[in-house]
Amino acid sequence: MNSQYIIRDQVREQAFGLRVSALARGAGSVAGRYLQEIRTVKKAASKSTEYARRRNRLMNLMGDDSIAVLAAAPARLRNRDVYYPYRPDSDFFYLSGFQEPDAVLVLVPGRERGEFLLFCRERDPKRELWDGARAGLEGARREHGADDAFPTADLDEIMPGLLEGRRSLFYTMGRQAGFDRRVVSWVERVRGAARSGLRAPEGFISLDGPLHEMRLHKNREEVRILRQASRITVEAHRRAMRACRPGLMEYQLEAELLHEFMRRGARAPAYPSIVGGGANSCVLHYMENAAPLREGDLVLVDAGAEYRGYASDVTRTYPINGRFSKAQRAVYEVVLRAQMEAIDAVRVGAAWRAPHNAAVRALTEGLVELGILRGAPEKLIKQESYKPYFMHSTSHWLGMDVHDVGDYKVDGAWRALEPGMVLTVEPGLYLRPDGKDGARGLDRRWWNIGVRIEDDVVVTQKGPEVLTSGAPRSVEAIQECMADAA
């Protein structure tokens, strides 16, 4: 290729050499160490193969004369010199499994010397003494399947040469302003050499379209991980129910959830946990979690574990003292009925909005039964009279992000549900004191009763698979679980 930019030759190593490591731990013999390393290599190979399949599928969608560039999420400063625990960008992790900052993934379909390039930090014994091991260039190739690996510091030297002759550049603008400017500068450098016969990409195409459509449809391995995330979350909610009692602080109940997450292998929640007692149960994204739990109130707990990069998202609402009052039970059973009807609407071929429509219908009918709304349900639905009490959508996609990627509409119409899609189903009623949010004329007995019930559901050919059904959901199951701790 006629290029003024030269990419240094890299000496490639075998992808998975089976040398026995003298540093292997936990094995009492040479044979034991050898078997241990074989298992490690097989595990790495299996993961690498899954990521390779994803990359190959994406490149097939992109076309031969294209190139894709995706930067890892930067490390984020918490305060002064303290950083947040690093969590990779979901798109980047989905395609590479690489979990270090200061990295850039490049896909070059049809490149003879390898289509998957990874720019990353080099090994640095001094920094690794402080911050932990790095994969380095060798690890990027051996453990993560990169065809070529280069130091991140060489990006500006190498990238223009990779862009030459490529018609389309798949890159999503707007995530990292500084990196956006670097990408634009590379394209401009190639365009500036047009008189030498070089061709630069004609335009930018957002990577989100093809990549997020891939992520929307989960394969069996992804569903298996989501099931495990769900099992961990279920046990955490059961633990919180058993621990709940008047006098605790909301954050103490949150601590029970976090303990169970980590005890079972989920190092972090998928999102900040919501633990809202009494009036706080009516605040949709309440996260202060700093109030006392009071006798006679409900507590709404919205919490999910993240396991191997995949999220769970579950909400349960229960009485702090372990027994529902008559009014609390009446509202709770309306929401539970709405959730069951919404889950039943999760069917292959059904419109995305079908579960929401089912929930709205059941909630509106329930509000009429409770005497909170008056009139014919169909007319009330048309007038959106339910909205002061149920103001959010019933579902969202779930996956590597708690509000996962994927379009909800296709060509202006609600998309049809397909096997492998995963969504939440979470109707609720939030009965705030009279006059708030347009909820006028509300009897005092309903004040500050906030109920949301949320589960994670996989669309399958056989019907909805509720991943989180093990968390007590009926009035009787909740009261029984809480009584076990008494």
| Residue range 86-143, pLDDT digits in tens | 999 999 999 999 999 999 999 999 999 999 999 999 999 999 999 999 999 999 999 9
Span 64-72, mean pLDDT?
Answer: 97
Q: Which of 150, 118, 142 is nearest to 48 (CA)?
A: 142
Q: Which of 148, 297, 426, 455 is catalytic?
A: 426
Is 403 an active-site residue? yes
Q: In whole angstroms, what is the distance from residue 85 CA to residue 171 CA?
A: 26
Catalytic residue among 9, 81, 112, 411: 81
Taking the C-alpha atoms of residue 417 and residue 396, their distance in angstroms, rounded to an integer, is 12
Say whether 34 is catalytic.
Answer: no
- Selecting among 294, 323, 347, 392, the annotated active-site residue is 392
Which of 29-38, 126-135, 300-309, 374-383 is predicted with the least confidence, judged by mean pLDDT? 29-38
* Catalytic hit among 111, 217, 323, 396: 396
Residue 31 confidence (pLDDT): 47
Categorize the per-residue pLDDT at 436 as very low, low, confident or very high, splitting at 50, 70 and 90.
low
d(CA 257, CA 413): 39
Residue 430 is among the residues annotated as catalytic for this protein: yes
CA distance 431 to 427: 14
Residue 486 has a pLDDT of 59
| E-assigned strand segments in 256-374 | 268-269, 274-277, 298-303, 305-307, 310-311, 314-319
Active-site position among 89, 91, 260, 313: 313
Is 144 one of the annotated active-site residues of the chain?
A: no
Q: Label residue 8 by pLDDT band (50, 70, 90).
A: very low
> Is the pLDDT score of 435 beyond 70?
no
pLDDT per residue as tens digits for the range 334-353: 999 999 999 999 999 999 99
Position 33 scores a pLDDT of 43
Of 295, 338, 335, 306, the C-alpha closest to 451 is 335
Look at residue 439 and give its three-state secondary structure: coil
Backbone CA torsion sign across 406, 410, 412, 415: negative
Q: Is 302 among the catalytic positions? A: yes
> Which residue in the list 5, 171, 386, 430 is annotated as catalytic?
430
d(CA 46, CA 15): 12
Q: Which residue has the higher pLDDT, 366 or 19?
A: 366
Are the beta carbons of 357 and 280 closer than 8 angstroms? no
Greatest pairwise CA separation for the chain in angstroms = 81
Averaged confidence pLDDT in the chain = 91
Give residues with Cβ within 8 angstroms of 153, minimum separation 6.
none
Non-local (6+) Cβ contacts of 243 within 8 A are: 252, 253, 256, 485
pLDDT band at 48 (very low <50, low <70, confident <90, very high): confident
Which residue among 76, 263, 285, 374 is the active-site one? 285
Which domains does the chain show, CATH number per domain? 30-214 (3.40.350.10), 217-484 (3.90.230.10)
Half-sphere exposure of 8 (CA within 13 A, CB side): 9
Among residues 250, 302, 341, 456, the one annotated as catalytic is 302
Is 313 part of the annotated catalytic residue set? yes
Q: What helix, strand, coil percent values describe the chain, rounded to 5?
A: 40, 15, 45
Question: What are the backbone angles phi and psi of residue 137, rounded to the nearest 5°?
Answer: -65, -40
- Mean pLDDT value of segment 268-277: 98
Residue 392 annotated among the catalytic residues of the structure: yes
Give the residue, 342 or 20, on which the prediction is more confident: 342
- From the candidates 454, 455, 456, 473, give the one annotated as an active-site residue: 454
| Of 55, 142, 452, 473, catalytic | 452
List the single range of 191-200, 229-238, 398-407 with lowest mean pLDDT: 191-200
The encoded tokens of residue 156 equal 């500006």
Among 445, 405, 402, 444, which residue's Cα sits nearest to residue 424? 402
Listed range (135-139, 272-276, 437-441) with the worst mean pLDDT: 437-441
pLDDT the model gives residue 437: 58
